[in-house]
Amino acid sequence: MDAAQAAIKNFDFIGARIRIEFFRSSKGKVQSQTEDFRHRQRTGNDNFYSRSLQLERSVVSELMIHILEQQQFLPISLKQAWDFFSSPRNLDEITPKNLGFKILYQPGEVMYEGQIIEYKVKIAPGVWVPWVTEIKCVRENQSFIDEQRFGPYKFWHHLHHFEEVEGGVLMRDLVHYALPLWPFGEIGHSLFVRPKLETIFSFRREILDKRFNP
């Protein structure tokens, strides 16, 4: 690997600030990029969301950070959606049992800013690794972020966003993640990691449909 890379990313989608810095060790150069923008009140056009994605994609391609997006309509109230997803315990219900995922430590049953949650995940038959995440940027009935503090990923940043729409709630997941041990991590990404993540989110969609669309 001739260009070791590290990233510091501060996302504030609702507060409308995105700061992305990237560094390269090759040729002794340090590069950074900072973007700030203000979004207007929503008037039917989801400008802040689309602009943030456009900006991120232009930069994360330099960082080998992968993006996973999903959105799903649920015919429930915003409060019902928030109550369900703000309880980390419900993550067990919407995660395939055969993929291996267990909560080891969770202070409190209701999510809050700065909450540390410890899991263990199975990355191969008989191989379990710890995964510690922190809950950040909690905006009640609107959004929150779970960000890895220690675990199998080099970088993990998962934005959960909820929007009240006609007849229910539009739920969005936006995940940025990177793997360690380049280039072997990228090989593993194509063969194992990405298919596993897509299986998890597909299962999640199916379970939520069954639970909230009886």
Q: What is the pLDDT of residues 89-130, one digit of tens each?
A: 888 788 887 777 888 888 877 889 999 999 998 877 788 899
Predicted pLDDT at 186: 85
Q: Give the pLDDT score at 53.
A: 54
Asked if residues 82 and 162 have their Cβ atoms less than 8 Å apart, the reply is: yes
Rounded Cα–Cα distance for residues 163 and 45 (Å):
13
Q: Is 186 exposed, middle or buried (0-12, 13-18, 19+ CB in 10 A)?
A: middle
Tokens 């995105």 belong to: 18
Q: Which residue would you say has higher pLDDT here, 104 or 37?
A: 104
Residue 162 contacts residue 81 (beta carbons within 8 Å): yes
Rounded to an integer, the average pLDDT of 175-189 is 87
Mean pLDDT (the chain) is: 75
For the segment 67-100, what is each residue's pLDDT rounded down to a tens digit? 999 999 999 999 999 999 988 888 878 888 777 7
What are the backbone angles phi and psi of residue 12, rounded to the nearest 5°? -140, 80
Q: How far is CA 60 from the centre of its chain?
A: 14
Q: Could you tell me if 177 and 65 are in contact, meaning their C-beta atoms sit under 8 angstroms apart?
A: yes
CA distance 135 to 177: 16
pLDDT at 63: 59
Q: State yes or no: pLDDT of 30 exceeds 70.
A: no
Confidence of residue 14 (pLDDT cuts 50, 70, 90): very low
pLDDT class of 164 with cuts at 50, 70, 90: very high
- Provide mean pLDDT across the span 191-203: 91
Cβ count near 179 (within 10 Å): 22
Dist CA 150 CA 167 (whole Å) = 39
Please tell me which residue, 153 or 38, carries the higher pLDDT value. Answer: 153
Give the residue range(s) of CATH 3.30.530.20 domains in the chain: 66-212
pTM confidence score: 0.69
pLDDT band at 187 (very low <50, low <70, confident <90, very high): confident
Cβ pair 200, 99 in contact under 8 A: yes
pLDDT bucket at 198, cuts 50 / 70 / 90? very high
155-172: average pLDDT? 96
For residue 90, what pLDDT is reported?
A: 86
Q: Which CATH class is domain 66-212?
A: alpha beta
pLDDT value, residue 21: 35
